[in-house]
Structures are given as structure tokens and as C-alpha cells.
């Protein structure tokens, strides 16, 4: 599995912000084991774990836990990467959101946000919630959210106003900073991460639209996205999409191909070159998920089989034995015994 990477364009605002407060960031960058030269190009990429380490060091250095919010709010165009410049040139917000979703990999390897119209005349931009969301990556989370809000205001104009923000965690100690920097009501302890605004903004003509420049940048963005995608095996990217809940275990070839903006034929060709197939990837991923779920004794094996997309326990038993060499019941018993032994 490839580790997630983050665009330097999302890191530079924090570096610049901390410098503007009078702090030296060189030692923090060094302590996070990041080569300082990488910050020269906003399209360079840094492993997410190192970014989180850097952000937490900088928060400790400055004594400000809300640096993700304050830094994102101070973002300047000189820190933009190619995708951000492309989004500024779009004719409508709807068009910009399509490109944001399609080329989000230029920002991050994480699952892209999705947008949807609601029946009450509003639009939601929803960020998938990772299972590993914690205090360790809270600053990065705040930063991406704030940059998104700033970007919306920049391309739509000063009159643009959000309706509300929905966040899945308890209000942190710096709760007041959210409304201070994001200028909108915030609701905590929701089941989602969403930015909400009136739907009429989707089709409104943007004041910075420039079709000529957009076409030139679009070619560069597409080429860079393909270059980044080619660095990782397609099979790894499919496994990553499964863990991010971007595709289901029951996904078809067409659905997976559409996710990566390729044809089913191209999908099969790449996987064959990597010595695998979509069926094999989905089956192996199901087995890994089953192994994890078997640690929870409250779930029956029949329930687990249904949750990972098998027709029933008999099918799970047969495939599990083939891949693991023992039945799910035997695996559960073995792991429970190992856990008891470790505790003792």
C-alpha cells in the first residue's frame, strides 16, 4: 500500500504563517525529517505522516493549536499549485468543483471531496472521513478545510457566504477560532465533514474566468496528474480506494475504471502488467477486512460475510480457507488465544 502524500502547496501556507509570527521554521523542518529544498516547488509532495509531524512541531513552537485555521485563512496566490490556478480560471463554480474532484490527487492522495445539491436549495461539499482522524492530523484537517473555504470566497467574490460547516468531532479548546477564521456558523459532533452554501452559486459566472489560460493550464494539470498516478501501481491505488470507501467490495470493472478516469480495457491491461486482476484485488481486500472484523467477537461469521459482500458464511469459509489456510472460526480462535497469551 502506498503511503498518502500531500502537496507542498498545502504545507507552504503554514510555513509562511509561522515565519510571519517571528519563529524560525528550519529546525522544525529538520526535526520532521523533511528536505527543505522540497518547499521550492508547490507541486512537490511530502508524505502525510511527515507533514503531520511538522505541523505539530510548529504548533508547539508557536503555542498556537489553531495554526491550521489561521494559516489557511492567510493563503496567498503565490503559494498556489497548478490545480489551484486552474480552478481560478473556470467559468462556473460547478465546473471548478468537477476539476477539483477529478484532479484532487494534485493536492493529496486522500479521497477527494464530493459535492451534491440538496432539496433545501443548498450545496454540500463533503470530505470523506478517514478512520485514522485524530489529534495528530487535526492541524492538517483544519488547514484543508480552511483553504477550501478561502478558495470558494476567492473565486466567487467577497459576497460569497457559507451557510454552515458540519464537523464530526467534539469542539476543541480553540472552538472560537473556527468562526473567527471561517466566518460561518460551525456545528460539531455531526456525522460528516461538510461545507454548506446556497446552490445558486454553482452556475453563477465567475469574475476571474479565463477560458484561454484555463485550456493551457488544464493540459499541464492533466499531465502532472498522470505523472503522479503512474508513480503508484494501479493495484495499490485500488486497494487505497477501498480503504477510503471510495469503492465497494462489490464494485464492477466499469465503476473502478470510472473512478480513475480510464476505460475498462485500460484498467485490465494495467492490472495484467502488474500480475493481478480486479477480482483478485477485491477478494484479497475482502479477506483482509474479514480478518480485522473477526477480532470483534460480537459479530457472527455470517454477519461478517454479508458485510463484505459475500452471499453467506459458506462462501466466506471456502475463500478464507483458500487464502489463509484455515476457516474464519479457526482464525478467530487462534487470534483470541494469541491476544490472551500476550496479555498474560
- Residues 113-153: tens digit of each pLDDT: 888 888 888 999 988 766 555 667 888 888 888 988 888 88
- Which pLDDT does position 224 carry in this prediction? 85
Q: In the structure grid, which three cell numbers stand for residue 244, read together?
A: 477510503
**C-alpha dihedral sign at 300, 303, 307, 313:** positive
pLDDT of residue 2: 40
Res. 1: pLDDT tops 50: no
pLDDT score of 14 = 92
Rounded to whole angstroms, the Cα distance separating 55 from 70 reads 13
**What is the CATH number assigned to the segment(s) 5-201?**
3.90.1520.10
151 contacts 129 by C-beta, under 8 angstroms: no
Choose among 205, 256, 192: nearest CA to 89: 205
Return the number of other C-beta atoms located less than 10 Å from residue 109's C-beta.
21
Q: Residue 135 has what pLDDT?
A: 67
Lowest mean per-residue pLDDT among 50-59, 139-148, 227-236, 291-300? 227-236
Instruction: Indicate if the pLDDT at residue 261 is higher than 70.
Output: yes
| 164, β-bridge pairs | 196
- pLDDT tens digits for 15-47? 999 999 999 999 999 999 998 888 888 878 888
State residue 123 phi and psi, 5-degree precision: -125, 140
CA 270 to chain CA mean position, Å: 24
Q: Report the run of H or E that residue 20 belongs to, with start and end.
A: helix 12-20
CA 263 – CA 107 distance, rounded (Å): 24
Is the pLDDT at 189 greater than 60? The verdict is yes
Q: Where are the domains of the chain?
A: 5-201, 236-344
| Dihedrals phi, psi of 185, to nearest 5 degrees | -60, 145
- Which cell numbers hold the place of 37? 529544498
Task: Output the average pLDDT for the chain.
Answer: 86
Q: Confidence band (pLDDT; 50, 70, 90) for 6?
A: confident
User: In which element (H, E) is residue 183 found?
Assistant: none
- The CATH code belonging to domain 236-344 is 1.10.10.60
- Place 74 in a pLDDT band, splitting at 50, 70 and 90: confident
Residue 275 gets the label, from left (phi > 0), alpha (psi -120 to 50) or beta, of: left
CA-wise closest residue to 249 among 293, 280, 292:
280
Q: How far apart, in whole angstroms, are the C-alpha atoms of residue 96 and residue 181?
A: 23
Report the SS3 class of residue 194. strand
Amino acid at each position: 500500500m502506498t503511503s498518502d502524500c500531500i502537496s507542498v502547496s498545502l504545507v507552504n501556507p503554514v510555513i509562511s504563517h509561522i515565519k510571519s509570527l517571528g519563529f524560525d521554521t528550519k529546525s522544525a523542518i529538520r526535526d520532521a525529517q523533511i528536505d527543505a529544498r522540497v518547499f521550492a516547488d508547490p507541486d512537490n509532495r511530502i508524505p502525510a505522516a511527515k507533514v503531520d509531524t511538522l505541523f505539530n512541531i510548529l504548533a508547539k513552537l508557536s503555542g498556537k493549536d489553531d495554526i491550521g485555521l489561521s494559516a489557511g485563512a492567510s493563503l496567498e496566490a503565490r503559494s498556489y499549485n497548478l490545480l489551484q490556478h486552474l480552478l481560478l480560471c473556470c467559468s462556473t463554480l460547478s465546473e471548478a468543483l468537477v476539476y477539483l474532484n477529478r484532479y484532487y490527487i494534485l493536492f493529496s492522495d486522500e479521497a477527494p471531496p464530493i459535492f451534491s445539491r440538496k432539496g433545501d436549495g443548498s450545496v454540500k461539499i463533503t470530505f470523506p472521513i478517514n478512520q485514522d482522524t485524530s489529534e495528530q492530523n487535526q492541524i492538517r484537517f483544519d488547514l484543508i478545510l480552511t483553504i477550501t473555504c478561502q478558495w470558494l470566497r476567492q473565486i466567487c467574490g467577497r459576497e460569497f457566504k457559507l451557510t454552515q460547516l458540519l464537523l464530526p468531532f467534539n469542539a476543541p479548546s480553540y472552538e472560537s477560532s473556527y468562526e473567527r477564521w471561517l466566518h460561518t456558523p460551525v456545528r460539531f459532533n455531526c456525522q460528516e465533514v461538510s461545507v454548506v452554501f446556497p446552490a445558486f452559486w454553482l452556475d453563477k459566472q465567475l469574475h476571474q474566468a479565463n477560458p484561454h489560460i484555463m485550456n493551457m493550464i488544464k493540459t499541464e494539470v492533466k499531465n502532472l496528474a498522470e505523472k503522479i498516478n503512474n508513480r503508484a501501481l494501479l493495484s495499490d491505488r485500488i486497494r487505497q480506494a477501498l480503504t477510503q470507501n471510495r469503492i465497494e467490495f462489490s464494485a464492477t470493472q466499469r465503476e473502478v475504471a470510472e473512478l480513475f478516469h480510464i476505460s475498462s480495457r485500460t484498467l485490465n491491461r494495467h492490472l495484467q502488467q502488474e500480475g493481478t486482476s480486479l477480482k483478485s484485488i477485491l477478494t484479497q481486500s475482502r479477506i483482509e477486512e474479514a480478518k480485522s472484523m473477526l477480532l470483534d467477537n460480537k459479530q457472527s461469521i455470517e454477519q461478517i460475510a454479508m458485510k463484505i459482500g459475500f452471499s453467506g458464511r459458506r462462501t466466506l469459509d471456502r475463500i478464507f480457507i483458500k487464502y489463509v489456510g484455515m476457516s474464519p472460526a479457526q482464525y478467530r480462535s487462534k487470534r483470541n488465544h494469541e491476544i490472551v497469551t500476550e496479555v498474560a
